[in-house]
Chains A and B, each alone.
Chain A
Amino acid sequence: MGWFKRSPWVLHYNATSCNGCDTEVIVSLTPLYDLERFGIINTGNPKHADILLATGSVNDKSVQVLKTLYGQMPNPKVIVAVGLCAISGCVFQDCYNVLGGVDKVLPVDVYVPGCAARPESIIDGVIKACDILEEKYAHRKNTYARTQP
């Protein structure tokens, strides 16, 4: 059964975003949108998280933190890039210290466009990420079964 689909726990990291997308992520937890009705919890702890919601254009300072957070999450895990900055760097992409997008450093699974991304599209992105989480779990289980004697 797909338990990941029923209870994806989210970790949110602001990789030098302008805070627009971050407030939208928080807004999607409010009574109006209520992410928790899908079982989604904003954990704030990478060791409990399944989905990494990364916002912002990722610069030289935040890239280390982003990599550390991703490394601390237990498998299976999924990255969702929220907002145009996290997808391409948006208007900041030519800055000297900006890497221009989360996918320059980590394997992004779902892109949520928008500047700032709407709460509806963020929720939609997380729900899509759940399916990928299931796929990754199935893949992981199969490869694990094959490698074991």
Chain B
Amino acid sequence: MNTICEVYRSLSILERMLVFLVLAPFVGGLLAGIDRKLSARLQGRYGPPLRQPFFDVLKLFQKERIVVNKFQNFNIVLLFVFTIFSGALFFAGADLLLTIFSLALAGTFFILAGFSVGSPYSHLGAEREVIQMVSYEPMVILMAVGMYQVTGSFKVADLAQFQEPLILYLPGIFVGFLYILTIKFRKSPFDLSMSHHAHQEIVRGITTEFSGPALAIIEVTHWYENVLLLGMVYLFFGFNPWIALGMSVLTFLFEIFIDMNYARFKWQLTFASSWLFTAVAGISNIIVLNFMT
């Protein structure tokens, strides 16, 4: 593990970005496969093969392209570009704030894509996505603020190499971040806008009018985003790469477990509870930190 870290540190920024762009879809796809297999096992089913998400995406690229509004795929491409941009920034060790804002911009383009088509299902999904974004965004910013308070830097490279465990300074922020991570992973109870499990209400929210290659791009974007979010979990345990990697994987398994155990919340509850968590866990943690230092 230490040799991997050494090799990573020796790479230039562009090379690190390239590593992320090439490896992240494989890692993300594999995680999605583990998700589906594990979910099936938890439900007492055999489940699809581990490579199933790759089959799905490759198939979607072979499907016919149906476009109802000629700008709809433009938005999806922007979603893709800004997500991989923020991921590449993060894994290159650049500014954490810029990563977060770029990810928020990607989310905005996804909402615009939902509104750009005529389907009422898609509009409903987009409206719910707005609510979700408002719910999770404060906590993500607070995470960056808390990390800055402890380390005095917004640079991901500094945060990852901070020798003391960040989790001991930011337990509240970590709990709050775990809470909104469920929204970001699009897991139950917060899969309001776009559910992974097909055949649920509003026939899949924002993606209703997106078929074939556009849907495949949305899926791959989601893989990139998942890897980026697990990278953020890594930062909390950056003092020891092995523990950090283990905790990232554990977090993902925990989200699957939550996904299987909860029915969907209403949007009011989603909004109120995530802001409550942000206030109680996140802001109080920052106030305490403020008095400590």
* Chain A interface residues toward B at CB < 8 A: 1, 3-4, 6-7, 9, 31, 34, 36-39, 41-45, 47-48, 50, 72, 74-76, 137
Contacts and interface: CB of A to CB of B under 8 A. Distances in A.
A56 B52 CA distance: 32
B46 A37 contact: yes
B48 interface: yes
Nearest to A1: B58
B212 A34 contact: no
Given A3-B55, A39-B55, A31 B203 contact: no
B199 A44 contact: yes
Contacts of B200: 44
B6 interface: no
Contacts of B58: 1, 3
Contact of A42 (B44, B63, B199, B215): B199
A44 B62 contact: no
B210 A42 contact: no
Interface size class of B (residues with CB under 8 A): 20 to 34
B15 interface: no
B63 A37 contact: no
B198 A9 contact: yes
Interface string B196-217: 0011100110011111100100
A34 B55 contact: no
Contact of A4 (B49, B59, B208): B59
Contacts of A6: 52, 55, 59
Given A37-B45, A74-B63, A47 B209 contact: yes
A103 B136 CA distance: 50
Interface of B: 36, 40, 43-49, 52, 55-56, 58-59, 62-66, 198-200, 203-204, 207-212, 215
Contacts of A42: 198-199
B55 A7 contact: yes
20 contacts: A9-B198, A34-B45, A36-B36, A36-B40, A36-B48, A37-B46, A37-B48, A38-B48, A39-B48, A39-B55, A43-B199, A44-B199, A47-B210, A48-B207, A50-B59, A74-B65, A74-B212, A75-B63, A75-B64, A137-B62
B56 A39 contact: yes
Contact of A34 (B47, B199, B209): B47
A4 B56 CA distance: 8
Question: Majority SS of interface residues in chain B?
Answer: loop
Contact of B56 (A7, A44, A45, A47): A7
A35 to B, nearest CB: 9
Nearest to A8: B59
Contacts of B209: 47
A44 B198 contact: yes
Given A3-B58, A42-B198, A47 B208 contact: yes
Contact of A47 (B47, B55, B59, B211): B211
B198 A41 contact: yes
B199 A3 contact: no
A48 B199 contact: no
B44 to A, nearest CB: 4
Most buried by A among B198, B207, B208, B212: B198
A74 B48 contact: no
Contacts of A31: 43-45
A51 to B, nearest CB: 12
Contacts of A72: 66
Contacts of B46: 34, 37
Contacts of A36: 36, 40, 45, 47-48
B42 to A, nearest CB: 11
Nearest to A137: B62
B243 to A, nearest CB: 34
Contacts of A9: 198
Contacts of A1: 58
A42 B62 CA distance: 19
A36 B47 CA distance: 6
